[in-house]
Amino acid sequence: PYNLMSVRKVNEAGFDVVFQKSGAVIRGKNINIPCPVNGKLYYARFFLATNEFCGSAESQKNIWHLRLGHLNKPSLKTMKLPVSDEVCNTCRVGKATRLPFRPVEKPRSSRVGEYLHSDIGGPVKTPTNADQVYFQVVVDDFSHFCSVYLLKSKSEAENNLMEYIAGVYNNTGAYPSRIRMDNGGEFRSKQFQKFCRNRGIKTQYTIPYSPQMNGVSERVQRTLQNKTRCIFSETNLPRHLWGEVMRSAAYQLNRSPSSAIKDPESYEDAIQEDGWKQAIDQELEAMERFNTWTEAELPQGSKAIGTRWVFRTKTDGTKRARLVARGFQEEGTHDSYSPVARISTVRMLLSKAIHDDLPMYHLDVPTAFLNGDLDHEVFIKPPEGTSYTSILRLNKALYGLRVSPRCWNKRFHEFMINQGFERSQTDFCLYFKEDVWLILWVDDSLIVGKEASTIIQALELEFNAKNLGEPRTLLGLELNRRSDRLFEE
């Protein structure tokens, strides 16, 4: 292909163009370029001197992009360097990345054993005493319970899965609905395919070189390997015991908290389980017992706020449902200050109990805030799980309101003053009377003194407080009392 060349532009560049009958000549300093005639046009042939580096420079604007190792355009702009609008093909090839895998929406399973994940790791350089060099991980999606099998060869993996599936059926009365595993030949035998097909189990195979598609078992496998390496590093055990160490790691992992196991996030999810339904019923019974609300009409100019359920599983396995108000929707400003005990005061009281050999008692007030009376009108919409159809006016300080801690503290303070106790002027949560001391931390109380039975009985009668005896855990501290010493863990 040829390009048209302007004679005028050639002259402006400092060259002369001489036209003759046989052709034209472009003359300059030490330059003579013949332009022979071909038909009615003059042709000038140019030969560009190039090398490998210069040949890669597509434009002058792109030169700094190349010099700086294909630096991105925003950084070039920051450095006040010229930026080309051209697309760098080298960057498109060299910086290409794989598109991210979309996360799988929860919940993926609704019962134990419904969905299984399996993966194989190895070979390990040092075989076990039984000549096993591979390990297989099977993870239950619902509970994240993991099992580890040691293998001499990968062909043993499908037999382990069939044994695991039989165990799931014996324990739950149902077969898994799905199994996700790598697309390896060890899971492709006709025997295994027939086994799954006869039991209605759907097999899901990942595509090659895509461990992200089997992320659950891959992540558990990584955790087990990390634990195994740490145990070896700490104990200097012989390497051929790696299989037993990995099984030990799985045992520990199955008894550790898992972020994948979550409490219900909505009322609809909670009522699917009997344990949570019972917790909801207990909370609603407490609301009725405390006369928490009254049906009313919403006054003109007032706003009814919403409520929501909060679900938590305690460390002892108890399921707790709490109905809370959406206090952030409340309009207007009210005094919401409520004192909180200082941790130094708690430690001081514990030290006094040990030094003077005094008994200690830990009291817990269930639904403490509901003992507080509201000093202004608050209206709520009918909560989920109740049969109310009209607006409710709160009589008690429902959890979630800004003023609830203050109302409860005010009610407790009035009770303690009526019992003849005095409040400390340095810590408003510390009360004392003769040889009895009491410190309040929201709904927990620590009582120290030999004559504490009277105030304990009064608290049990007034607030339905639970006497938990000598404290074993208090404010996140594990207490261990031994004669004249108290150990905190």
Cis, peptide link before residue 123, omega less than 30° from 0: yes
Task: Return d(Cα 466, Cα 458) in angstroms, integer.
Answer: 11
- pLDDT on residue 483: 65
Quote the pLDDT of residue 97: 85
Q: CA 142, CA 177: separation in Å to the nearest integer? A: 12
pLDDT of residue 467: 94
Task: Find tokens 């001391």 and name the residue.
Answer: 437
pLDDT of residue 432: 96
- DSSP class of residue 373 equals B
What's the pLDDT score for residue 478? 78
Give per-residue pLDDT as tens, 425-435.
999 999 999 89
Q: Is residue 205 a contact partner of residue 183, using CB atoms and an 8 Å limit?
A: yes
260, 299 contact by CB (below 8 A)? no
pLDDT in tens, the chain (489 residues): 577 888 998 898 889 999 988 889 988 888 888 888 888 888 888 765 555 554 444 457 788 888 889 999 999 899 988 888 888 889 988 988 877 777 765 557 888 999 999 999 999 999 999 999 999 999 999 889 999 999 999 999 999 999 999 999 999 999 999 999 988 888 999 999 999 999 999 999 998 888 888 889 999 999 999 999 999 999 989 999 999 999 999 999 999 888 777 888 889 988 887 789 999 999 999 999 999 999 999 998 889 999 999 999 887 778 999 999 999 888 877 888 899 999 899 989 988 988 898 999 999 998 899 999 998 899 999 999 999 989 999 999 999 999 999 999 999 999 999 999 999 999 999 999 989 999 999 999 999 999 999 999 999 999 999 999 988 888 777 787 776 676 666
For residue range 46-79, list pLDDT tens digits in order.
765 555 554 444 457 788 888 889 999 999 899 9
Q: What pLDDT shows up at residue 56?
A: 47
**Which tokens belong to 311?**
């679900």
Domain residue spans of the chain: 7-42, 54-94, 115-254, 343-372+401-488
Instruction: Kindly state the percentage of the chain with pLDDT values over 90.
Output: 57
Q: What is the model's pLDDT at position 107?
A: 55
Three-point CA angle 105, 107, 111, nearest 5°: 150
Residues 6+ apart with CB under 8 A from 346: 439, 441, 446, 474, 475
> What pLDDT does 476 receive?
74
Q: What is the DSSP string of 190-248?
A: HHHHHHHHHTTPEEEEPPTT-GGGGHHHHHHHHHHHHHHHHHHHHH---GGGHHHHHHH
Q: What is the CATH number of domain 115-254?
A: 3.30.420.10
Q: What is the pLDDT of residue 344?
A: 92
Task: Please check whether residue 42 is in contact with residue 24, taking contact to mean a CB–CB distance below 8 angstroms.
Answer: yes
Q: Give the C-alpha separation, 145 to 138, whole Å.
A: 8
Is there a contact between 358 and 334 (Cβ–Cβ < 8 Å)?
no
Question: Which contiguous run of DSSP H or E holds residue 344?
Answer: helix 343-355
Can you tell me the distance from the alpha carbon of 23 to that of 44, in angstroms, rounded to the nearest whole number?
Answer: 10
Identity (one letter) of the amino acid at 379? Answer: F
Tokens for 14, please give them: 């400092």
Class in CATH terms, 343-372+401-488: alpha beta
Distances (CA, A) of 359 to 85, 195, 363: 80, 65, 13
In whole angstroms, how far apart are CA 217 and each of 139, 174, 299, 301, 356? 6, 22, 57, 57, 56
Compute CA distances 77 → 67, 91, 203, whole Å: 15, 18, 52
Task: Decide: helix, strand or coil at residue 454.
Answer: helix
What is the pLDDT at residue 200? 95
